[in-house]
Amino acid sequence: MITRRSAFAFLAVTAGGGTFLTAGLLRKMRPAVAAEPLITGAGICSIMPETTEGPFYFDPAQERSDITEGRPGVPLRVRLQVVDAACTPAPGARVDIWHCDAEGRYSGYPRQPGGVDTTGETFLRGTQFADGNGIATFTTIYPGWYPGRTPHIHFKAFPDNSSVLTGQMFFPDAVSRDIYENIPPYNDRALDGITWNARDGIARRAGDAALAEMARAGQRLDAALVVAVAG
């Protein structure tokens, strides 16, 4: 099982350059499960700490579950479950997520890594409304990294029309390292300039409440997080 506190080496590269989960990981990782009523193993209802929005947010006005737009990377399903301080799910809550691609680039902004201008693009951004268990689900890729920050996914959770929580989802370092060292296009860059969780001030302040629970679902990875919003 991959938990908040441990992770296994888990990806291999095929001769054709594709990726698959290793047999050892498939035996050790628990299957993805549904909320009953909380996402199993994703944590308890400690109030999610507010974190910075960062410089790259905009609302692309796209309600969609698949936000990849063809960007290459390890397939990832993200599930964010919005609940209140009493662990009661918030059906219909709006959730926005956004993150960089495998090469550390955000859509919609100039001067991205490598001097790339992504103005007008909307990859890896989208909005979903939570189901009856308060869960918003997205299909995306595992995020890349850029200097000064540990790997993360940004989110905004709107439990109602009058409140919002801005946060970030983080990942076990061992999972990120295995992907970045072994899987193209992540491994096109050396890791000399990467920041891991313990050296990222935002991740340290957020603590374990913002660390995703990882699981496998066939050849895809799952990342789950309970987002408890103070009333």
Which residues constitute the domain of residue 49? 11-229
- Confidence at residue 44, expressed as pLDDT on a 0 to 100 scale: 55
- Position 32 pLDDT exceeds 70: no
pLDDT-based confidence at 37, cuts 50/70/90? low
pTM of full prediction above 0.85: no
Specify if 27 maps to a domain: yes
Q: Regarding beta strands 220-229 and 75-84, do their DSSP bridges make them parallel or antiparallel, or are they unpaired?
A: parallel
- Sequence-distant (≥ 6) Cβ neighbours of residue 112 within 8 angstroms: 104, 105, 106, 118
Q: What are 213-228's pLDDT values in tens digits? A: 898 777 789 999 989 8
Specify if 2 maps to a domain: no
- Position 19 pLDDT exceeds 80: no
- Sequence-distant (≥ 6) Cβ neighbours of residue 108 within 8 angstroms: 56, 58, 60, 118, 119, 120, 121, 122, 125
Q: What are 66-123's pLDDT values in tens digits? A: 999 999 999 999 999 998 877 889 999 999 999 999 999 999 999 999 999 999 999 9
Which residues lie across from 12 on neighbouring strands? 20
Cα–Cα distance measured from residue 134 to residue 39, given in angstroms and rounded to the nearest whole number: 10
224: domain CATH number? 2.60.130.10
Specify if 160 maps to a domain: yes
Q: What phi and psi, each to the nearest 5 degrees, are found at residue 222?
A: -115, 140
Peptide bond into 37 cis (omega under 30): yes
Specify if 5 maps to a domain: no
- Position 35 pLDDT exceeds 80: no
Specify if 97 maps to a domain: yes
- Confidence at residue 16, expressed as pLDDT on a 0 to 100 scale: 31
Domains held by the chain: number: 1
- Confidence at residue 77, expressed as pLDDT on a 0 to 100 scale: 95
Cα–Cα distance measured from residue 227 to residue 176, given in angstroms and rounded to the nearest whole number: 22
Specify if 6 maps to a domain: no
pLDDT-based confidence at 229, cuts 50/70/90? confident
Q: What are 128-178's pLDDT values in tens digits? A: 999 999 999 999 999 999 999 999 999 999 988 888 899 999 999 999 999
pLDDT-based confidence at 23, cuts 50/70/90? very low
* Residue with the larger pLDDT of the pair 211 and 20: 211
Specify if 173 maps to a domain: yes
Specify if 1 maps to a domain: no
